[in-house]
């Protein structure tokens, strides 16, 4: 007797040392719950030979030691895990507030985004701060959280030409997602503002401010508050 | 601690080991040596564990002096190495006397040369590894490429010093390849027959904008069929992803951990060190193999690495 999660799961080899587990091909809360549960179960009861896990919206990429395991070995090991997913207890989501100074030099795309949606910049800020976002996963670079979903009225395509260097702490939107750049990196998201809160600190015990499953809200701050927080 | 003085750093010289595992959920990729076989062999030549930290140099090497001496080995590509102006070879241990200077020039073969030192390069580990992650400025020596004037420390050595060299057969067995064997990518079905045919019959040239994150390729475009909506997912090392323009990108050691482009193929594990030795303008081709072949080749490579005749001396 297989559970819904086990029925839904589909295996796809990605390389000779990795296997993708898909829970459907749509971004749904159920699919993401399955991803988080499998990630948690594999964390609580680790499998010898699994070297790394990369969760995403509706999939988990499992990287393994190909000298110890093959795809079929891993599938056989995973099936009982999948059968138990419904019983996995996920902790209550943490709630995290991120202060953001919107517009000006910190949010160089705010005015353009407003114009694209026939809104005022203040309305864009109000919409962006009105929603509670879920951390779907961290990817791209250390500590970069994919947050969803943006209010429909703010859904905006990414820049046609990515910036070569996005300043650290920049808060951007792309498609129906939003996120904060933890490092100065290239990037194609449209920048609405910037946070003084470090997203990734190697000398902090949690290192990444955000983890998969967290609930995030953005709160507007002034330039003076930004400066005070940055120096604190 | 025994020091190494960096007199000149070269184009891009970083501290690397075999990378960090298990931090994918934080978005942290493995990083580590782009040619891990060269690093492992270099470490064995100086009596280190396979995963000790060494220096990875790119296209143009640096100049290093050793005030207290050292035992070193150079592996990977030949960067025209001299010790106090006398030519020295790769794939052998070299005893450096106090005050001598080791100089590397431009590459004569592939992209990367490794300098391994008996005792390893000593840096504060980040998430269990000495590897530098350049984009995020984490790990390695102050999270960055080396600069002129930097002073590195050599770790304590466990084994006594004995002259060693790599067997000639091993140099041939581990020589980098330009015909890269691949397995099908997770979205291979998204690519029309014409794209697959171009990919497997054509030659691709490594573009200038290639680095430790990924190698951009120039050649016949191989677009995926339009219509499929790709949902961002975890991406594996050596994945060959194809953005809208149809020109493929091979993901390398400092890769992004997730991505939203369809993947046509994936370089097999034994060929990843060859990817680390590719230079801009190199020409490569791809050959499809099945999963069993990929696994067998990896097992054979590990058997060669376990051979008692690998290191002489």
For B60-69, how does the pLDDT look when each residue is reduced to its tens digit (9 = 90+)?
999 999 999 9
Burial level of B292, CB count in 10 A (0-12/13-18/19+)? exposed
Q: Is the domain of A74 the same as that of A123? A: no
Contacts of B237 in chain A (CB under 8 A): 15, 17, 63
Q: Cβ of A20 and B266 within 8 Å?
A: no
Where residue A159 sits, what CATH number does that domain have?
2.40.100.10
pLDDT of B232: 92
Burial level of A36, CB count in 10 A (0-12/13-18/19+)? buried
Closest Cβ–Cβ partner in A15, A138, A142 for B266: A15
pLDDT in tens, B276-290: 999 999 999 999 999
Q: Cβ of A138 and B27 within 8 Å?
A: yes
Residue A229 pLDDT grade (very low, low, confident, very high; cuts 50, 70, 90): very high
Q: Is the domain of A83 the same as that of A99? A: no
Does B8 score more than 80 pLDDT?
yes
Q: Is the domain of A17 the same as that of A100? A: no
Does A120 score more than 90 pLDDT?
yes
Overall average pLDDT of the A24-35 stretch: 92
Domain count within chain A: 2
The answer to whether the peptide bond before residue A149 is cis (omega within 30 degrees of 0) is yes
Closest Cβ–Cβ partner in A52, A140, A202 for B258: A140
Overall average pLDDT of the A72-86 stretch: 96
Q: For all residues of chain B together, what is the average pLDDT?
A: 95
> Which one of A66, A87, A108 terminates a domain?
A87
Overall average pLDDT of the B133-162 stretch: 91
Does A1 score more than 50 pLDDT?
no
Give CATH 2.40.100.10 domain extents, chain B.
179-305
> Which one of A21, A52, A87 terminates a domain?
A87
pLDDT in tens, B228-271: 678 999 999 999 999 988 999 999 999 999 998 999 999 999 99
Where residue A54 sits, what CATH number does that domain have?
3.30.1360.40
pLDDT of B2: 84
In Å, what is the CA distance from A101 to each residue of A107, A127, A148, A217, A227?
8, 15, 20, 14, 10
Residue B160 pLDDT grade (very low, low, confident, very high; cuts 50, 70, 90): low
HEC readout, chain B: CEEEEEEECCCCCEEECCCCCCCHHHCCCCCCCCCHHHHHHHHHHCCCCCCCCEEEEECECCEEEECCCEEEEEEECCCCCEECCEECCCCEEEEECCCEEEECCECCCCCEEEEEECCCEECCCECCECCCECCCCECCCCCCCCCCCCEEEECCCCCCCCCCEECHHHHHHCCCCCEEEEEECCCHHHCCHHHHHHHHHCCEEECCCCCCCEEEEECCCCCCCCCCCCCCEECCCCEEECCCCCCCEEECCCCCCEECCCEEEEECHHHHHHHHCCCCCCEEEEEECCHHHHHHHHHHHHHHHCCCCCEEC
What DSSP line would sit under A65-124, residue for residue? -TTT--HHHHHHHHHHHHHTGGGPPPPPPPEEEEEEEESTTT-TTHHHHHHHTT--HHHH
Contacts of A67 in chain B (CB under 8 A): 298-299, 302
Minimum mean pLDDT among A110-124, A214-228, B136-150, B151-165: which range?
A: B151-165
Domain around A177: 95-231
Q: Is the domain of A107 the same as that of A207? A: yes
State which H helix or E strand residue A29 sits in: helix A29-44
Q: Is the domain of A195 the same as that of A123? A: yes
**What's the gap in Å between the CA of B208 and the closest CA on chain A?**
16
Residue, of A232 and B232, whose pLDDT is higher: B232
Q: Is the domain of A132 the same as that of A199? A: yes
Overall average pLDDT of the A79-85 stretch: 96
Q: Is the domain of A75 the same as that of A182? A: no
Q: What proportion of chain B, given as a percentage, has pLDDT over 90? A: 93
Q: Is the domain of A83 the same as that of A114? A: no
| Residue B52 dihedral angles phi and psi, to the nearest 5° | -65, 155
Overall average pLDDT of the B16-29 stretch: 94
pLDDT of B159: 63
Chain B interface, best mutation among A35, A75, A139, A182, by max B CB count within 10 A: A139
Residue B291 pLDDT grade (very low, low, confident, very high; cuts 50, 70, 90): very high
Q: Is the domain of A76 the same as that of A113? A: no
The number of beta carbons lying within 10 Å of the beta carbon of residue A223 is: 12
Please give the residue of chain A at the shortest CA–CA distance from B143: A202
pLDDT in tens, A145-174: 999 999 999 999 988 888 989 999 999 999
Taking domain B179-305, whether its CATH number is 2.40.100.10 is answered by: yes
> Which one of A20, A55, A87 terminates a domain?
A87
Closest Cβ–Cβ partner in B21, B184, B257 for A139: B257
Residue A232 pLDDT grade (very low, low, confident, very high; cuts 50, 70, 90): confident
The partner residues of A21 in beta bridges, in order of sequence, read A11, A60
Does A2 score more than 70 pLDDT?
no
Q: Cβ of B25 and A53 within 8 Å?
A: yes
Tell me, what DSSP letter sits at residue A152?
Answer: G
């Amino acid at each position: 007797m297989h559970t819904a999660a086990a029925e839904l799961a589909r295996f796809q080899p990605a390389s000779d040392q990795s296997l993708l587990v898909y829970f459907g091909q749509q971004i749904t809360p159920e699919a993401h719950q399955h991803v988080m549960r499998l990630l948690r179960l594999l964390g609580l009861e680790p499998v010898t030979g699994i070297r790394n896990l990369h969760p995403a919206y509706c999939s988990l990429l499992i990287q393994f030691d190909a000298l110890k395991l093959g795809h079929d070995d891993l599938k056989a090991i995973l099936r009982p895990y999948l059968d138990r997913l419904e019983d996995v207890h996920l902790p209550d989501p943490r709630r995290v507030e991120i202060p953001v100074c919107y517009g000006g030099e910190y949010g160089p795309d705010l005015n353009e985004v407003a114009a694209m949606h026939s809104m005022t910049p203040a309305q864009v800020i109000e919409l962006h701060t009105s929603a509670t976002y879920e951390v779907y996963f961290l990817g791209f670079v250390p500590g970069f959280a994919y947050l969803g979903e943006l209010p429909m009225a703010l859904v905006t395509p990414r820049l046609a030409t990515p910036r070569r260097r996005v300043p650290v702490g920049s808060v951007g939107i792309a498609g129906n997602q939003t996120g904060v750049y933890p490092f100065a990196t290239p990037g194609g998201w449209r920048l609405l503002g910037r946070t003084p809160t470090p997203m990734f600190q190697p000398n902090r015990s949690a290192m990444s401010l955000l983890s998969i499953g967290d609930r995030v809200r953005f709160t507007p701050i002034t330039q003076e508050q930004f400066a005070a927080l940055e120096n604190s | 601690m025994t020091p190494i003085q960096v007199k000149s750093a070269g184009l891009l010289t970083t501290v690397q080991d075999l990378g960090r595992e298990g931090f994918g959920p934080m978005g942290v990729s493995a990083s580590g040596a782009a040619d891990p076989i060269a690093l492992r062999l270099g470490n064995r030549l100086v009596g280190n564990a396979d995963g000790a930290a060494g220096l990875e140099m790119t296209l143009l090497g640096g100049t290093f002096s050793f005030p207290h001496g050292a035992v070193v080995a150079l592996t990977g590509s030949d960067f025209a190495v001299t010790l106090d102006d006398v030519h020295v070879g790769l794939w052998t241990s070299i005893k450096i006397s106090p005050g001598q200077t080791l100089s590397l020039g431009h590459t004569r073969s592939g992209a990367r040369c490794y300098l391994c030192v008996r005792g390893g390069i000593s840096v504060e580990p980040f998430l269990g590894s000495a590897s530098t992650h350049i984009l995020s400025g984490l790990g390695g020596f102050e999270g960055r490429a080396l600069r002129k004037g930097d002073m590195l420390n050599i770790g304590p050595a466990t084994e006594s010093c004995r002259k060693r060299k790599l067997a000639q057969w091993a140099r041939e067995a581990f020589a980098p390849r330009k015909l890269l064997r691949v397995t099908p990518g997770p979205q291979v079905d998204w690519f029309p027959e014409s794209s697959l045919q171009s990919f497997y019959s054509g030659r691709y040239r490594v573009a200038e904008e290639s680095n430790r994150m990924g190698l951009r390729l120039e050649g016949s475009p191989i677009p995926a069929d339009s219509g499929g909506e790709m949902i961002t997912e975890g991406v594996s090392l050596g994945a060959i992803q194809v953005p809208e323009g149809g020109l493929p990108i091979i993901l390398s050691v400092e890769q992004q951990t997730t991505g939203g482009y369809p993947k046509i193929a994936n370089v097999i594990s034994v060929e990843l060190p060859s990817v680390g030795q590719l230079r801009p303008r190199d020409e490569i081709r791809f050959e499809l193999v099945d999963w069993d072949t990929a696994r067998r080749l990896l097992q054979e490579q590990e058997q060669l690495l376990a051979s008692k005749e690998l290191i002489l001396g």
